[in-house]
Amino acid sequence: MVLVLAGFAGEARAETDTQTAILDRIVVSATKTPHTLGDVPVDAEVITREELLKRNVQTAQDALDQTTGLLVGKTSSGWGSKGTVRIYGLNAKYTLLLVDGQRLLGGHQNAIDLQQISIDMIERIEILKGPASALYGSDAVGGVVNIITRNGTDKPEFSGSIAMGSRGTVVGSMSGGAGSENLKTRFSYTYRESDGVDEELDSYNEHILQGTVSLKLSEKAKFSLKPYYSFQDMPDQDTKQERYGINAMLDWAPDALSSVKLRGSFFDFNYKTGTDDTVLDNYEFELLYSRMLFDSHLMTAGYEFWNERRDYYVSAGRNSKIDQTLNSFYLQDEIDLSPVVMVLGARLDSHERWGEEINPKVSVMFNATDDLKFRASVGRAFKAPSLLSLYDEWMMGTITVHPNPDLKPEKSIGYQLGVEYAFNPGIVAKATWFRNDLEDMIKSSVRRVAGRMHMYYENVDEAMTQGVELNLDARISECVSAKVGYTWLDTEDKLTGMELIYEPESKFVSGLNFTFCPASLTLGFEASYIGERYSDAVNTAKLDGFWVCNATLTKKFTDQAEAFIRIDNIFGEENIADEYDLDGTEFLAGLRVKI
């Protein structure tokens, strides 16, 4: 496929007037200021809404699974891990997941569940790989996934879709909006149900409601409100999850050289079983100010407040309420010394129990030519101890889990070195070397004391991940697009010298989309390979690598209606220990309409 894409380079050069150049995509998350992918020194990727529609994916985890450097977990049986994402060989808890800059809640083992996000409201997904605590604070060790939702509309608009498929899957969504020049709105509702792999254990149904309301206050100011609600029921496991939140943003440009952003948000997650009820709350406030100085320095300063609360109610036993607060300050300087561009940044996070953490980062980009760029970065990152591990004693079955008030944050240093070459605006190749060194990792251990089992948390682990990531992305014409990517990964538990479990040495992804323009028919093919990986800490049990191939077909009848079908796992891979959802071929067929 690489040779084929290279052969199309000449043709693509002639087609660039009719397509959006890959490097012209806008990314904000990399520096919290708008950039195109081609001019930002920080390694970033963007998945557009157009790509999601072409692939006919129905969940956020499916939207991410063809991205190099990422490993997406899918478990329909999990109450809080239906979709998780790992970056550069690091556990999912080291990935910071945001929606419009807001932290989400609700997942298993400190990871956030992607299932709670509706595809229908996604405008684009911005992915930062490598340490990002210099801007985002705790959890941004492996990287950041920021899902940007759709804006409101000033004209009446309606769209809807219905899809049905294997495993008793039904997915329905509808969205609409209306407004005026100054007031724009959009609301979306999504319903999903499925039997999962085991219909006597995995069946669930869920409702997701999201919206956007934006008000133009003046030519220089805009206020936006983004409400959210979701409910998920897994009756066979007697679990219910309810989430609701609000994200309010004020954008103001006092003059041509500066901008101010205020963001305040609240998010609530309620997890109920037959015996207990857990409520998690997030309160956030952020103030950001950016200003251009001396024509070559874009300075950004910010303050962030984050309060996290946990209420735990047990039908027969002790209830608990705990909370913690972080106050944070960050400063960043984007320096344009063309052909060299630098980003220098640092953030201070202060906590009442474990004190202060300072995390700097330096990113440099050298524009050797208009088409050839080199990037390098080094930065520190951290993950704060969880509320449970710091403050609360609780029962996990028959095991008493003890808090450790002396826990320190988990820390890392990350490095990246990359090269990017644009054969033309439609074909871009990238190669990136990365490394992460982690220390003070929090590990739990179980011991028998006086005939009973007890679990304790300690800062004892150290680990390393490193590797190489290769990408070739092509928009050959309006009718043809393709992608090839490969990740080689090396991991080590520094205490034992063994490889980390369930981290494959190799991951290969590829995709091809072809539109027969006269027939308004789009075909898509995807092939991915996950390499060998160990399933035990002493590296005696190794799982085989496997291929997964998918296909999708979309038929456009009119500008207002189209039908689609998606077939996943065409060759029926199954019985893979760490891939619960791979259990034979799946299909989904549906219809989309818009007015």
The CATH number given to whatever domain includes residue 453 is 2.40.170.20
476, 480, 486, 487: CA torsion to nearest 10: 90
Query: Percent of the chain having pLDDT more than 70?
Result: 94
Write out pLDDT tens, residues 186-227. Answer: 999 999 999 999 988 889 999 999 999 999 999 999 999 999
pLDDT band at 14 (very low <50, low <70, confident <90, very high): very low
Q: Are 163 and 172 in contact (CB under 8 A)?
A: yes
pLDDT band at 389 (very low <50, low <70, confident <90, very high): confident
* Spatial CA neighbour of 71 closest among 489, 434, 584: 489
Residue 311 pLDDT greater than 70, yes or no: yes
pLDDT band at 277 (very low <50, low <70, confident <90, very high): confident
- For residues 516-537, give the mean pLDDT: 94
Query: Percent of the chain having pLDDT more than 90?
Result: 73
Residue 551 pLDDT greater than 70, yes or no: yes
- For residues 232-239, give the mean pLDDT: 90
pLDDT band at 312 (very low <50, low <70, confident <90, very high): confident
- For residues 145-149, give the mean pLDDT: 96
Task: For residue 38, give the DSSP letter.
Answer: T
Residue 7 pLDDT greater than 60, yes or no: no
Q: What is the mean pLDDT of the chain?
A: 91
Query: What is the pTM assigned to this prediction?
Result: 0.93
Residue 21 pLDDT greater than 80, yes or no: no
Q: What is the distance between the alpha carbons of residues 190 and 161, in angstroms, rounded to a whole number?
A: 9
- At position 478, the amino acid (one-letter code) is E
Residue 315 pLDDT greater than 80, yes or no: no
- For residues 534-561, give the mean pLDDT: 95
More confident residue, 3 or 526: 526
* Spatial CA neighbour of 190 closest among 59, 30, 78: 59
pLDDT band at 113 (very low <50, low <70, confident <90, very high): confident
Provide the pLDDT for residue 8. 32
Long-range contacts of 318-322 (CB under 8 A, 24+ apart): 320/392, 320/394, 322/387, 322/388, 322/391, 322/392
Q: What is the distance between the alpha carbons of residues 305 and 355, in angstroms, rounded to a whole number?
A: 15
Residue 2 pLDDT greater than 50, yes or no: no
Lowest mean pLDDT among 109-113, 128-132, 428-432: 109-113
Residue 5 pLDDT greater than 60, yes or no: no
Residue 3 pLDDT greater than 50, yes or no: no
Residue 122 pLDDT greater than 80, yes or no: yes
Provide the pLDDT for residue 444. 85
* Residues 6+ positions from 127 with CB-CB distance below 8 Å: 44, 45, 46, 47, 64, 67, 70, 143, 144, 145, 146
Structural domain containing residue 178: 2-594
Q: How many domains does the chain divide into?
A: 1
